[in-house]
Structure 1
Amino acid sequence: MANEVLNRLDTAKTQWYHFTAVVIAGMGFFTDAYDLFCISLVTKLLGRIYYTIPGSSTPGSLPPNVAAAVNGVAFCGTLAGQLFFGWLGDKMGRKCVYGITLMLMVLSSVASGLSFSSTPSTVMGTLCFFRFWLGFGIGGDYPLSATIMSEYANKKTRGGFIAAVFAMQGFGIVTGGIVTIIASAIFNAIHRAPAYEVDPTGSLPPEADFIWRIILIFGALPAVITYYWRMKMPETARYTALVAKNAQQAAADMAKVLQVKITQEPENTEQVRPNKDYGFFSREFFQKHGWHLVGTSVCWFLLDIAFYSQNLFQKDIFTAINWIPKAKTMSAMEEVFRIARAQTIIAFLGTVPGYWFTVFLIDKIGRFYIQIGGFLAMFVFMLGLAFPYHHWTEPGNHIGFLAMYAFTFFFANFGPNSTTFVVPAEIFPARLRSTCHGISAAAGKAGAIIGSFGFLYAAQNQNPALTDHGYPPGIGVRNSLFFLAACNFFGACFTLLVPDSKGKSLEEMSGENDDEDVEIETVPSKTAISV
Structure 2
Amino acid sequence: MASNNLAVLNALDTARTQYYHVTAIVIAGMGFFTDAYDLFCISTISKLLGRLYYYDPSTGKPGKLPVNVNNFVIGVALVGTLTGQLVFGWLGDKLGRKKVYGVTLILMVICAICSGLSFGASAKSVMFTLCFFRFWLGFGIGGDYPLSATIMSEYANKKTRGAFVAAVFAMQGVGIIFAGLVSMTLSRIFLAKFEGPAFHIDPVLSTEPEADFMWRIVLMLGALPALLTYYWRMKMPETGRYTALIGGNAKQAAADMGKVLEIEIQDEQDKVVQFKANNDYPLLSREFFDRHGLHLIGTATTWFLLDISFYSQNLAQKDIFPTLGLTSKATDVSAVREVFQTSKAMFIVALFGTFPGYWFTVFFIERIGRFYIQLIGFFMMSVFMLILGLKYDFLNTEEHKWYFALLYGLTFFFANFGPNSTTFVLPAELFPTRLRSTCHAISAASGKAGAMIGAFGVQSYTLNGERSKIKAAMIFLAFTNMLGFCCTFLVAETKGRSLEEISGEDGGQGGNETQMTGRSSTTAQQEDTWEGYN
TM-score calculated relative to the size of structure 2: 0.91
Structure with higher strand content: 1
Structure 2 counterparts to residues 474-493 of structure 1, below 5 A = 476-493=469-486
Separation in structure 1 between the aligned mates of residue 266 and residue 507 of structure 2, nearest angstrom: 29
Match of 2:27 among 24, 28, 35: 24
Among all aligned residue pairs of Structure 1 and Structure 2, give the percentage whose two residues are the same amino acid. Answer: 60
Tell me which stretches of 4 or more aligned residues in structure 1 moved more than 6 Å.
Answer: 193-197
Q: Is the 8 A contact 2:278 2:505 kept in 1?
A: no
Q: Is the 8 A contact 2:501 2:508 kept in 1?
A: no
1:123 and 2:126 matched: yes
Structure 2 counterparts to residues 512-523 of structure 1, below 5 A = 512-514=505-507
Structure 2 counterparts to residues 373-452 of structure 1, below 5 A = 373-452=376-455
Q: Which amino acid aligns with 1:231?
A: M
Q: Give the equivalent residue in structure 2 for 1:10.
A: 13
Matched residue count: 504
> How many Å apart are 1:397 and its aligned residue?
1.4
Structure 2 counterparts to residues 216-235 of structure 1, below 5 A = 216-235=219-238
Q: 1:206 to 1:281 in 2, by over 3 A?
A: same
Q: 1:2 to 1:368 in 2, by over 3 A?
A: closer
Q: 1:125 to 1:154 in 2, by over 3 A?
A: same
Q: Is the 8 A contact 1:23 1:165 kept in 2?
A: yes
Separation in structure 2 between the aligned mates of residue 154 and residue 453 of structure 1, nearest angstrom: 40
For residues 207-236 of structure 1, give each alpha carbon's deviation from its aligned partner in whole angstroms, at most 9, with x where no partner exists: 000010000000000000000000000000
**SS of structure 1 residue aligned to 2:271:** strand
Separation in structure 2 between the aligned mates of residue 104 and residue 225 of structure 1, nearest angstrom: 14
Structure 2 counterparts to residues 287-436 of structure 1, below 5 A = 287-436=290-439
Separation in structure 2 between the aligned mates of residue 153 and residue 192 of structure 1, nearest angstrom: 52
1:251 and 2:251 matched: no
Q: Give the equivalent residue in structure 2 for 1:76.
A: 79
**SS of structure 2 residue aligned to 1:499:** coil
Match of 2:161 among 158, 162, 179: 158
**SS of structure 2 residue aligned to 1:356:** helix
> How many Å apart are 1:420 and its aligned residue?
0.1
Q: Give the equivalent residue in structure 2 for 1:501.
A: 494
Q: Is the 8 A contact 2:278 2:507 kept in 1?
A: no
Q: 1:329 to 1:74 in 2, by over 3 A?
A: same
Separation in structure 2 between the aligned mates of residue 454 and residue 196 of structure 1, nearest angstrom: 39
> How many Å apart are 1:150 and its aligned residue?
0.1
Separation in structure 1 between the aligned mates of residue 196 and residue 327 of structure 2, nearest angstrom: 18
Q: Is the 8 A contact 2:244 2:250 kept in 1?
A: yes
Q: Which amino acid aligns with 1:512?
A: E
Q: Give the equivalent residue in structure 2 for 1:524.
A: none
Separation in structure 1 between the aligned mates of residue 87 and residue 417 of structure 2, nearest angstrom: 29
Separation in structure 1 between the aligned mates of residue 325 and residue 433 of structure 2, nearest angstrom: 51
How much is the aligned-residue C-alpha RMSD, in angstroms? Answer: 1.9
> How many Å apart are 1:118 and its aligned residue?
1.2
Q: 1:41 to 1:427 in 2, by over 3 A?
A: same
Q: Which amino acid aligns with 2:416?
A: N
Q: Is the 8 A contact 2:373 2:417 kept in 1?
A: yes
Match of 1:106 among 109, 128, 140: 109
Separation in structure 2 between the aligned mates of residue 73 and residue 151 of structure 1, nearest angstrom: 32
Q: 1:438 to 1:408 in 2, by over 3 A?
A: same
Q: 1:276 to 1:164 in 2, by over 3 A?
A: closer
Q: Give the equivalent residue in structure 2 for 1:279.
A: 282
Q: 1:259 to 1:345 in 2, by over 3 A?
A: same
Q: Is the 8 A contact 1:196 1:329 kept in 2?
A: no
Separation in structure 2 between the aligned mates of residue 408 and residue 146 of structure 1, nearest angstrom: 25
Q: 1:31 to 1:269 in 2, by over 3 A?
A: same
Structure with higher helix content: 2
Q: 1:262 to 1:11 in 2, by over 3 A?
A: closer
Q: Give the equivalent residue in structure 2 for 1:47.
A: 50
> How many Å apart are 1:57 and its aligned residue?
2.9
**SS of structure 1 residue aligned to 2:119:** coil
> How many Å apart are 1:475 and its aligned residue?
5.8
Separation in structure 2 between the aligned mates of residue 457 and residue 230 of structure 1, nearest angstrom: 38
Q: Which runs of 5+ in 2 are unaligned?
A: 511-534
> How many Å apart are 1:190 and its aligned residue?
1.5
> How many Å apart are 1:391 and its aligned residue?
0.8
Q: 1:36 to 1:378 in 2, by over 3 A?
A: same
Separation in structure 2 between the aligned mates of residue 284 and residue 506 of structure 1, nearest angstrom: 18
Separation in structure 2 between the aligned mates of residue 461 and residue 261 of structure 1, nearest angstrom: 63
1:33 and 2:26 matched: no
Q: Give the equivalent residue in structure 1 for 2:532.
A: none
Q: Which amino acid aligns with 2:503?
A: S
Q: Give the equivalent residue in structure 2 for 1:529.
A: none
Q: 1:407 to 1:197 in 2, by over 3 A?
A: farther
Structure 2 counterparts to residues 83-102 of structure 1, below 5 A = 83-102=86-105
For residues 26-46 of structure 1, give each alpha carbon's deviation from its aligned partner in whole angstroms, at most 9, with x where no partner exists: 000000000000000000000
Q: Is the 8 A contact 1:73 1:132 kept in 2?
A: yes
Q: Is the 8 A contact 2:378 2:419 kept in 1?
A: yes
> How many Å apart are 1:55 and its aligned residue?
5.6
> How many Å apart are 1:392 and its aligned residue?
1.2
Q: 1:460 to 1:188 in 2, by over 3 A?
A: closer
Q: Is the 8 A contact 1:95 1:234 kept in 2?
A: yes
Q: 1:486 to 1:220 in 2, by over 3 A?
A: same
> How many Å apart are 1:270 and its aligned residue?
3.4
Q: Which runs of 5+ in 1 are unaligned?
A: 464-473, 518-531
Q: Which amino acid aligns with 1:23?
A: V
Separation in structure 2 between the aligned mates of residue 396 and residue 198 of structure 1, nearest angstrom: 31
Match of 1:175 among 162, 174, 178: 178
Q: 1:268 to 1:424 in 2, by over 3 A?
A: closer
Separation in structure 2 between the aligned mates of residue 70 and residue 386 of structure 1, nearest angstrom: 27
TM-score calculated relative to the size of structure 1: 0.92
> How many Å apart are 1:514 and its aligned residue?
1.6
Q: 1:197 to 1:397 in 2, by over 3 A?
A: farther
Q: Give the equivalent residue in structure 2 for 1:61.
A: 64
Q: Give the equivalent residue in structure 2 for 1:471.
A: none
Separation in structure 2 between the aligned mates of residue 386 and residue 2 of structure 1, nearest angstrom: 52
Separation in structure 1 between the aligned mates of residue 266 and residue 285 of structure 2, nearest angstrom: 41
For residues 410-446 of structure 1, give each alpha carbon's deviation from its aligned partner in whole angstroms, at most 9, with x where no partner exists: 0000000000000000010000000000000000000
Separation in structure 2 between the aligned mates of residue 447 and residue 19 of structure 1, nearest angstrom: 32
Separation in structure 1 between the aligned mates of residue 120 and residue 201 of structure 2, nearest angstrom: 28
